[in-house]
Amino acid sequence: MKNIVVLISGSGSNMAAIVRRAQSERWSERLGVRVAAVISNKADAKGLVFAQENGIATAVLDHKAYPSREAFDAALMQEIDRHAPALVVLAGFMRILTPGFVAHYAGRLLNIHPSLLPAFPGLHTHERAIEAGCKFAGATVHEVTAELDHGPILAQAVVPVLPDDTPDVLAARVLTQEHRIYPQAVADFLQRQG
């Protein structure tokens, strides 16, 4: 069985989309894949409740309890590795990861970003897209590399930017597409791994 470990910091809506797709498409029987654990850096992350309700192991590592980013990432790697992951999925995990962490999971670390990369890496993507006068925005699933939001692109979805959009309205439209493309990209990635 190939284990997926998902990292979240908040509502975990992309994680929930992946879990629901795994359930509805019976990934464990068909692909030999399961979401084995959900880990958060915030104890009040709502996504932890969803994971627990779906019988998925959960853990919390508060990044504020560690003296450095490197110390936190080392503890996080130890927790992740307990589940022998074939894939680590960042789903709204609001931490910049150290090069050592990224190297440890090279080739098996995915992220979703709410823009059409390479446009608008980093934060405030929807606001920046509106301010730039973009006619289209979207979401990108990519492999994680040491350079923030610059890994190989696996999937993208495009949404229109409408004249009266606010960042929140655009974010909601993009999020519906994230929930569609991320589970599919995860399944496709694991099938290519064989």
Which residues are designated catalytic? 113
Terminal alpha carbon distance of the chain: 12
- The strand pair at 136-143 and 57-60 is best described as unpaired
Contacts of 104 (CB under 8 A, 6+ apart): 77
- Beta carbons of 89 and 6 less than 8 angstroms apart: yes
Quote the tokens at residue 56.
Answer: 């998925």
Quote the tokens at residue 97.
Answer: 């990861």
